[in-house]
Structure 1
Amino acid sequence: MDTTEREFTVAEARALIPQVRARAAEIVRMRADLAELTLDLRVRGSSERGGIPEVKASEARLDEEIAWFTGQGIEVKSLAPFLVDFPATLDGRSVRLCWLEGDTELAWYHRTDLGFAGRRPLA
C-alpha cells in the first residue's frame, strides 16, 4: 500500500494518537536541544551540547522520527509548533484530521482545500 495515499477513518487516526503524542514529545525535546546547540555554535562558536557532529546526529534522529509519521501516511505540516494531518473523508468531502502539539486528543479537522485556517471541531 502506498502510504502517500492512505486515508484514515476518525477511529483509525484516534487509535494512533498515543503514539503520535509520545513521538511528538520526543520531537519537541530534540527540536529544543537542536535549536540551543545551533544557536550556541553560531553565537559563541561552542556549546556544552557538542559541535557540528552532534548537530548532524540530531538532525538525523529528527529525520528518523519524522519518517515514522510519513511511513504511517500521516502528513507532517509543521515542526514548530508540531502539527500533523491525517488524510480522511467526512461527509463525502476530502479533509485532514489535524493534531497540534499540546492537544490531548484528535478533536479537529479542516477541509483539504482550506488548510489550518478552516479548522473545525470534530463532532
Structure 2
Amino acid sequence: MGLFTVAEAKAELARLRPILDEIVVVRADMVELASGIPTELGGVPERKAAEARLNELMTAVQETGAELKGVAPLLVDFPADLDGVPVLLCWLEGDAELAWYHRADLGFAGRRRLP
C-alpha cells in the first residue's frame, strides 16, 4: 500500500467509521464475556464469536493500508508525507476527525495538530 494524502486519509477514516464503531462494541462485549462473571451476553461460544469478529474488523481496517496501532483505545495511523517528511496521520478513539500527525520516527509522543 502507498502513502495517503491528508484528503485521502480523511475520506478513508470516514469510510472506516462504522467498522471502528463496531470494534468498540465488540471489544466491550469480548471483555465482558472474558471476565468470568456471568453475563446475559453468553459464554465461551459467544466470546469466541466476538474474538473472531474483532479479528475480521481489525483485518478490514488494515487491508485499507491504514495501520491499527491500538485497540483500547483505538489508534489508527495513515502513512503519509508532509513536506517531504514521512509522517503518520493519526486518529485516536474519541477524536472527532483526523486532525493530528506525528513523524514516523517519533511515535505518538511527537503528535502534533495538522497545519
Find the aligned partners of 2:48 and 2:29 in 1 and give their Cα distance: 12
Q: How many residues align?
A: 115
Which of 29, 34, 37 is the matching residue for 1:33?
29
Contact 2:33 2:44 in 1 (8 A): no
Show CA shifts across 1:73-99 (max 9, x none).
000000000000000111111100000
Listed as ranges, the matches of 1:32-111 within 5 Å are 32-39=28-35, 41=36, 44=37, 46-111=38-103
Gaps of 5+ in 2: none
| Greater share of helix | 1
Which digits, 9 at most, give the CA deviation of each residue in 1:52-109, with x for residues without a partner? 1111110110011111111000000000000000001111111000001111111000
Stretch of structure 1 that moved more, 91-100 or 47-56? 47-56
Larger radius of gyration: 1
Measure the CA separation in 1 of the matches of 2:58 and 2:13.
15
| Percent of aligned pairs with the same amino acid | 57
Would you identify which runs of 4 or more consecutive aligned residues in structure 1 move more than 2 Å? Answer: none
Which secondary structure does the structure 2 equivalent of 1:56 belong to? helix
Aligned-pair Cα RMSD in Å: 1.1
Shift of 1:17: 2.0
Quick one: distance in 1 between partners of 2:40 and 2:84? 53
Distance 1:31 1:69 in 2: 15
1:20 match: 16
Q: TM-score, normalised by structure 1?
A: 0.88
Structure-2-length-normalised TM-score: 0.94
Distance 1:24 1:107 in 2: 17
